[in-house]
Amino acid sequence: MKSTIYPRLASDSMKKNHRLYVPFLLASSGMVLIFYILSYLSHSPLIRSLRGGSDLASIMNFGSLVLALFSGIFLFYTHSFLLRRRKTEFGLYNILGMDKRSLAHILVWETLIITGVSLLLGGLGGILLAKLAEASLLRLVKSDISFTLKVDLPALLSSGAVFAVIFGLILLQSLLQISRTNPIDLLHSQAVGEKPPRSNWILAVTGLLFLGAAYYLALSIKDPIAALAWFFIAVILVIAATYLLFIAGSVTACRQLQKHKAFYYQKQHFVALSSMTYRMKRNGAGLASIAILCTMVLVMLSSTVCLYAGTEDILCTRYPREVIVSASLSQAQSANDTYWTDLTSQLLTASDQLALTPENQLDYQYVYGSGEISGDQLSLKKANDTTVPTDSLISVIILPVEDYNQISGADLKLESGQAMIYTNRLTYTAAELQINQAVTLQLTQRLDSADTLKDIRVITEASGYSPELVLVVPDYASLIRQLQQSLTGTEPADLYLGRIMAFDVAGSDSAVAEKQLLSEWQPQLDSLVSQSGGRLSSLTAEAVATERNYYYSTNSGMLFIAVLLALVFVLATVLIMYYKQMSEGYEDQSRFAIMQKVGMTPQDIRQSINAQILTVFLLPLLTAGLHLAFAFPMLQKLLLLFGLSNRRLFVSVTLLSFAVFAVFYALIYRITSRAYYHIVSARPQT
C-alpha cells in the first residue's frame, strides 16, 4: 500500500493542478522535440552530403548546445512557479503527519512523471517531425528531398540524457527548498508576500547608464569588423540594463507616480499601481526576461530572414559574372604585356570544346591594400603591423585607367602623375595625395558614385568592411613598382596584386555549363601556376552555380536554427507570461475579494486589471522594439560582413517581423488577462 500511495498522490495532485502542469509539460515536451530535431539534423547524411554540409551540421550542433543551456535555465525558472503553488499543499501534508521524507517521495514521483511524459511526447513528436524538418531545410537549400523515415538512436539518447540531467537538477533544487522550510512556512508560503520595495535610484541610474552606453556603441561604430567585436559587449550591457531598469527603475517610477495624488487616488489607478509597486521587484525580473526573449526573437528572425532573402544580392555583390578566374600576381603587368591574354586564351579553349559562348567578359587587374590616411598623406600598412588601430584603417584599391575605361565604357584620359579618386564612407577633399612619401598624385578627377565600378567585386558599396579609397591611374605598372620599393624591408607590404577574368555563360542550362567548365579547368590551374615562371602566386576559378549551393546552405542553416530557437523563446515567453498571471492572480484573489466587499464593482475590477496588465505587459514589447531600433545600425554592419547591403530589404523584414510578433504578443496578452481575471473574480478558497 505504502509503495503505491506516493505515485497516486503525485498523479492526483498533478491532475488537480492541471492548469499549472499541462503548460509546463507541453513546454518541456516541445523543447525535447526541438532538441531531437537539431541533433537529428546534425547527424543527417543528406545534410552532410551538401556543399557546405559540414558547416551546416556544425551550426545544428551549436544550436543544440544553445538550446540545452537555455532549456535548463528556463525550466528551472518556470518550475519555481509550480513549486511555489504546491508549497501550501506540502505544508498541509506535513502538518497532518507526513514527514519530509514522504514529501520527497512525492516530489521524486512527480519528477519521474514529468520526465517520462516530456521524453515520451517530445521523442515521438521529434521522430515524426524530424523528417519534415529535414525536408524543409533541404527545400531551403534548394536540394533534392528524400522521404525515408528513420529513428536516429544517438539523437534520441542524447535528448534523453540532456533532459534527464535537467529534471534531475530541478528535483535536487526542489528537495533542498522543502528540506529547509518548516511546516508553518510551507502552509502559509502563498500568503507570504514581499515587503514593499523602496526606490533605488543608484540601480535605476546605473541601468540608464548601461543602456545609454549600449545604444551609443550601436550608433557610433562605423566599421563592421569593430561592430562584430563590440556586439557581444553591447548585448551584455543591454541585458544588464534591462534587468536593472525593470527591477529597480520600475519600482522607482511607481513610487514617483504614487507621489502624484491626483493620479494615484483614482480607483482605476490605486489598486493597480499599489499591486505593481508591492511586487514589482519580483515582476521586474520576469518582465525583463520577457523583454530580452522578445528582443532575441526579433533580432534572430529579422537578421536570418534578411540573409536568406538576400542570398541572390550577396551572390551578385561577390560575383560580378557567372564564371570568375582570379589570379594573384607577383608583379604588376604593363599594358603591352601579353602573358595574361595568352593564359586566358588557353583557358577559354575549353569553352570552345564544350560549345559554350562567353558573354559580358571582364578583364582587369588591381592592387588591394590597407592603410591610414592623415591630411594628404596615405601610409600603406605592412603585414603584421599592429601600430595602426583597426578602426582607423581604410581599404586602398588602385586600378589602371585602361581597365577602368574597359569596364565602365568611359574614355577617361589621365596624364602621368594624375589620378581619379572615389571614396566610400570616407571624405577626402585635398587636391593631391602622397602615398608613403614616395608617390604624389594630382587628383584631377573625382567619381561621385561607384555605379561605373559595380562589376568589380572588390569595389562595391557592400564589399568594403572599412572605408574605401579607390584610385584610377595611368602608368599603373611603374607606380606599383615605386610603391613596392617604398615598402621594402624586413616586413613585406600588405599589398595584394590581383587579376580578374570573368564572363557569363549563355543558355538556359548555364549552371550545368559552368560546372562542366570548372571541371575542365581544375587540372590545368596548378600546372599554369607552376609554369608561370614566378609571375603567378595562385590561380583559382569559381562559378556562381557552385557557390550558390554553399551560400544557400549556410544562410538556410542559420535561418532554420533561428526559427527553431525563436519557437523555443516564444514558448518560454508565453509560459513566463502565463505563470506570472496565474501566480499573481492567486495572490491578488483575496485582495480583490476585500475590495469588492468595500464597494468595488466587477467593472471596476476589470478596469483595474486591464490597466495593470496592459501597463505591465506592454513594457517588454515596447522595450524589445526600442532595443531592436537601436541595434539596427550595428546589425546592418554585421550583415555587411556576409556581403549583404540591401538596406531596404533589412528595414522591410525588421518591420514585418516586429508587426507579426506584436500581433502574436497581443493574442497572448488577451489569453493571459482572461485567465487572471477569472482567478481574481472567483471566490477565494478557504
Query: At 147, is the secondary structure helix, strand, or coil?
Result: coil
Check residue 560 and give its pLDDT. Answer: 83
Whether residue 205 has pLDDT greater than 60: yes
Q: pTM of the full predicted structure? A: 0.74
| Among the ranges given (10-14, 49-53, 670-674), the one the predictor scored with the smallest mean pLDDT | 49-53
Q: Bridge-partner residues for 364, per DSSP?
A: 500
Does residue 566 share a domain with residue 497? no
Handedness of CA 318, 324, 330, 333 (dihedral sign): negative
State which of 534, 563, 585 marks the end of a domain: 534
Q: Which span out of 157-161, 406-410, 675-679 was modeled with the highest average pLDDT?
A: 157-161
State which of 534, 562, 587 marks the end of a domain: 534
Does residue 635 share a domain with residue 601? yes
Handedness of CA 174, 177, 179, 184 (dihedral sign): negative
Span 421-449, average pLDDT? 88
Does residue 286 share a domain with residue 246? yes
The answer for residues whose C-beta is within 8 angstroms of residue 174's C-beta and 6 or more apart is 79, 83, 107, 111
Does residue 272 share a domain with residue 407? no
Amino acid at 218: A
Check residue 149 and give its pLDDT. Answer: 67
Query: At 435, is the secondary structure helix, strand, or coil?
Result: strand
Whether residue 464 has pLDDT greater than 60: no
Whether residue 194 has pLDDT greater than 50: no
| Among the ranges given (209-213, 496-500, 527-531, 552-556), the one the predictor scored with the smallest mean pLDDT | 552-556
State which of 534, 554, 583 marks the end of a domain: 534
Does residue 655 fall inside a structural domain?
yes
Amino acid at 354: L
> With bands split at pLDDT 50, 70 and 90, how would you rate the model's confidence at 587?
low
The residue among 216 and 70 whose pLDDT is bigger is: 216
Whether the Cβ atoms of residue 587 and residue 193 lie closer than 8 Å to each other: yes
What is the percentage of the chain residues whose pLDDT exceeds 90? 13
Span 109-129, average pLDDT? 90
Cα–Cα distance measured from residue 175 to residue 274, given in angstroms and rounded to the nearest whole number: 34
Whose cell is 466587499? That residue is: 597
Span 571-600, average pLDDT? 69
Check residue 490 and give its pLDDT. Answer: 42
Check residue 629 and give its pLDDT. Answer: 92
| Among the ranges given (91-95, 475-479, 618-622, 669-673), the one the predictor scored with the smallest mean pLDDT | 91-95
For residue 542, give the C-alpha cell: 569559381
Span 437-443, average pLDDT? 89
| Residue whose C-alpha is closest to residue 435's, from 396, 390, 392 | 396
Check residue 656 and give its pLDDT. Answer: 92
Whether residue 596 has pLDDT greater than 70: no
Check residue 462 and give its pLDDT. Answer: 46
Check residue 423 and give its pLDDT. Answer: 87
Whole-Å CA distances, 186 to 14, 87, 177: 18, 5, 10
Whether residue 401 has pLDDT greater than 90: yes
> Looking at 72-130, which runs of residues are DSSP E strands?
none
Does residue 497 share a domain with residue 419? yes
Cα–Cα distance measured from residue 42 to residue 67, given in angstroms and rounded to the nearest whole number: 14
Q: What is the pLDDT of residues 611-658, one digit of tens each?
A: 666 666 788 889 999 999 999 988 888 887 777 878 889 999 999 999
Span 219-248, average pLDDT? 80
Does residue 152 share a domain with residue 275? no
Does residue 539 fall inside a structural domain?
no
What is the percentage of the chain residues whose pLDDT exceeds 70? 75
Does residue 540 fall inside a structural domain?
no
Check residue 118 and give its pLDDT. Answer: 92
Does residue 29 share a domain with residue 172? yes
> With bands split at pLDDT 50, 70 and 90, how would you rate the model's confidence at 175?
confident
Does residue 201 share a domain with residue 183? no
Mean pLDDT of the chain: 79
Handedness of CA 75, 81, 86, 91 (dihedral sign): positive
422 Cα distance to chain centroid: 34
Check residue 188 and give its pLDDT. Answer: 53
Span 454-480, average pLDDT? 76
Check residue 42 and give its pLDDT. Answer: 82
Handedness of CA 596, 602, 604, 608 (dihedral sign): positive
The answer for residues whose C-beta is within 8 angstroms of residue 84's C-beta and 6 or more apart is 189, 190, 583
Give the structural domain span for 656: 194-323+546-686
Does residue 73 fall inside a structural domain?
yes
Check residue 443 and give its pLDDT. Answer: 93
Check residue 193 and give its pLDDT. Answer: 46
Amino acid at 547: E
The residue among 468 and 87 whose pLDDT is bigger is: 468
Does residue 167 share a domain with residue 80? yes
Does residue 541 fall inside a structural domain?
no
Span 454-463, average pLDDT? 60
Check residue 162 and give its pLDDT. Answer: 92
Does residue 620 fall inside a structural domain?
yes
Could you give the dihedral angle defined by the CA atoms of residues 541, 545, 551 and 555, in that order, rounded to the nearest 10 degrees?
180
Buried b (16+ CB within 10 A) or exposed e, 114-123: bbebbbebbb
Buried b (16+ CB within 10 A) or exposed e, 422-434: bbbeeebeeeebe
| Residue whose C-alpha is closest to residue 368's, from 493, 490, 482, 453 | 493
Does residue 435 fall inside a structural domain?
yes
Could you give the dihedral angle defined by the CA atoms of residues 297, 299, 304 and 307, in that order, rounded to the nearest 10 degrees?
160
Whether residue 426 has pLDDT greater than 80: yes
Check residue 638 and give its pLDDT. Answer: 82
Phi, psi of 505 (to 5 degrees): -115, 125
Cα–Cα distance measured from residue 229 to residue 305, given in angstroms and rounded to the nearest whole number: 23
> With bands split at pLDDT 50, 70 and 90, how would you rate the model's confidence at 63?
confident
Cα–Cα distance measured from residue 585 to residue 609, given in angstroms and rounded to the nearest whole number: 10
| Residue whose C-alpha is closest to residue 247's, from 216, 193, 206, 295 | 206
Check residue 94 and give its pLDDT. Answer: 66
> With bands split at pLDDT 50, 70 and 90, how would you rate the model's confidence at 394?
confident
Whether the Cβ atoms of residue 351 and residue 517 lie closer than 8 Å to each other: yes
Whether residue 57 has pLDDT greater than 80: no
For residue 14, give the C-alpha cell: 498533478
Region class of 622: left (phi > 0), else alpha (psi between -120 and 50), else beta = alpha
Does residue 495 fall inside a structural domain?
yes
Query: At 413, is the secondary structure helix, strand, or coil?
Result: coil
Whole-Å CA distances, 490 to 439, 487, 564: 21, 9, 52
| Residue whose C-alpha is closest to residue 75's, from 661, 665, 579, 624 | 579
Does residue 296 share a domain with residue 186? no
Neighbours of 256 (CB within 10 A): 10
Q: What is the number of structural domains in the chain?
A: 3
**Secondary structure letter of residue 641 according to DSSP:** T
| Among the ranges given (113-117, 439-443, 446-450), the one the predictor scored with the smallest mean pLDDT | 446-450
Q: What is the pLDDT of residues 268-310, one digit of tens each?
A: 555 555 555 555 555 667 778 888 888 888 998 898 899 889 8
Say if residue 1 is exposed, middle or buried (CB neighbours under 10 Å; 0-12, 13-18, 19+).
Answer: exposed
Does residue 352 share a domain with residue 293? no
Whether residue 671 has pLDDT greater than 50: yes
Check residue 627 and give its pLDDT. Answer: 92
End-to-end CA distance of the chain: 31
Does residue 528 share a domain with residue 558? no
Check residue 277 and give its pLDDT. Answer: 57
